[in-house]
């Protein structure tokens, strides 16, 4: 689109130079590459109305499922049975709580008798049943 | 829009990549030349055009036929090319200052005038076009593709057709001034 009022030799040269810069065609592999990209891109994402309709349907299903879980029949909670390992009993028959116990830092002493203790240089634990009583 | 084009569009909307490919073949030159006008590099322009067609395919449900498919895709290619150009310029600016590189062309010494031949004049003219500010270069090159009317260019650039015309005149004036500085007498 050249300006007819200002057309002369220089304008012709300008038109020619500008055309040289943009009058080109895509390369021969353009169509092949585009088709490969289109195929790998998958189908178009669809009409927004139907897309949002689909999302609304999914949301409604999720909501229905949540309501069914909330108000549906529920079995009474089953009392959990402790595993054998967690059973512990403490006999508090003779226990009498102290009215008040005061321990100051200087009154506390710890004593560990280490007579006859020999450090084990190497120990291999081959089997452990998991019971405290039978622990080696 | 022709019946044939409408049929291809319907099939493309249903996910027929081959129908879309047929539409793409019909307007790839227009889209590619618009991208080339912005980017000045055929490989970059080709990549921008590929991206434009992919976007068009993915968003084809948004095309309502208010303009032709070619105009729609060319506008997408133009925007992709501008995004790419902005990215390229931003990366380039990290390394060099473009002040004076993009807008100024050094004046030739007077004694060069007699050495310059016609082919050299064309090369220099292309350099001058490259050195124009984008707001003058873009309408000039889009116009040179021969693919767009003044109204089309105005829509692509987001300016009125009258402004396109005035920018074209200003671009020509700048180029003539540049040629004059390089020692070429007005003919």
pLDDT digits (tens, 9 = 90+) for A80-94: 565 555 555 666 677
Any chain A CB within 8 A of the CB of B165? yes
- Spatial distance between the Cα atoms of B54 and A88, rounded to a whole number of angstroms: 69
Any chain A CB within 8 A of the CB of B20? yes
Domains in chain B (CATH in brackets) are 1-96 (1.10.1740.10), 97-187 (1.10.10.10)
**Whether B143 and A9 lie within 8 Å, measured CB to CB:** no
Q: Give the DSSP H or E segment for B93.
A: helix B69-95
- The answer to whether residue A112 sits within a structural domain is no
Residue B1 · residue B68 · CB < 8 Å: yes
- The answer to whether residue A44 sits within a structural domain is yes
- Spatial distance between the Cα atoms of B124 and B108, rounded to a whole number of angstroms: 11
- Mean pLDDT of the residues in chain B: 85
Any chain B CB within 8 A of the CB of A40? no
Report if pTM > 0.90: no
Q: How many domains are there within chain A?
A: 1
Residue B184 · residue B173 · CB < 8 Å: no
Residue A52 lies in domain: 4-71
Mean of pLDDT values over A99-109: 61
Using DSSP, state whether B145 is helix, strand or coil. Answer: coil
Point out the residue among A15, A34, A41 whose CB comes nearest to the CB of B24: A34
Query: Residue A66 — pLDDT band, cuts 50, 70, 90?
Result: confident
CB contacts of A53 in chain B (<8 Å) are none
- The answer to whether residue A127 sits within a structural domain is no
pLDDT digits (tens, 9 = 90+) for A12-60: 889 999 999 998 999 999 999 999 998 888 767 655 545 555 556 566 6
- The answer to whether residue A90 sits within a structural domain is no
């Amino acid at each position: 689109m050249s300006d007819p009022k200002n057309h002369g030799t220089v304008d012709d040269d300008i038109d020619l130079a500008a055309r040289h810069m943009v009058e080109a065609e895509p390369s021969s592999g353009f169509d092949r590459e585009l088709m490969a990209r289109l195929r790998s891109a998958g189908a178009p994402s669809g009409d927004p109305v139907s897309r949002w309709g689909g999302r609304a349907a999914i949301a409604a299903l999720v909501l229905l499922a949540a309501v069914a879980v909330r108000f549906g029949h529920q079995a009474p909670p089953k009392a959990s049975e402790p595993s054998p390992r967690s059973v512990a009993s403490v006999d508090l028959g003779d226990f009498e709580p102290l009215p008040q116990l005061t321990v100051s830092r200087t009154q506390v002493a710890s004593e560990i008798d280490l007579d006859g203790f020999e450090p084990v240089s190497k120990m291999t634990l081959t089997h452990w049943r998991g019971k405290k009583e039978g622990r080696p | 829009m022709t019946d044939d084009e409408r049929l291809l569009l319907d099939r493309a909307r249903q996910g027929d990549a081959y129908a879309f490919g047929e539409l793409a073949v019909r307007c790839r030159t227009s889209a590619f030349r618009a991208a080339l006008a912005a980017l000045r590099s055929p490989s970059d322009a080709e990549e921008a055009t590929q991206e434009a067609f992919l976007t068009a395919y993915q968003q084809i449900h948004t095309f309502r036929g208010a303009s032709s498919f070619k105009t729609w895709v060319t506008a997408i290619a133009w925007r992709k090319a501008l995004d790419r150009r902005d990215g390229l310029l931003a990366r380039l600016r990290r390394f060099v200052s473009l002040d004076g590189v993009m807008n100024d062309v050094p004046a030739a010494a007077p004694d060069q005038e007699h050495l310059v031949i016609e082919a050299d004049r064309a090369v220099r003219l292309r350099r001058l076009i490259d050195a124009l500010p984008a707001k003058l270069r873009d309408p000039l090159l889009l116009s040179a593709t021969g693919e767009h009317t003044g109204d089309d260019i105005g829509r692509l650039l987001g300016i009125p057709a009258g402004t396109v015309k005035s920018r074209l005149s200003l671009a020509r004036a700048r180029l003539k001034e540049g040629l004059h500085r390089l020692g070429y007498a007005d003919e």
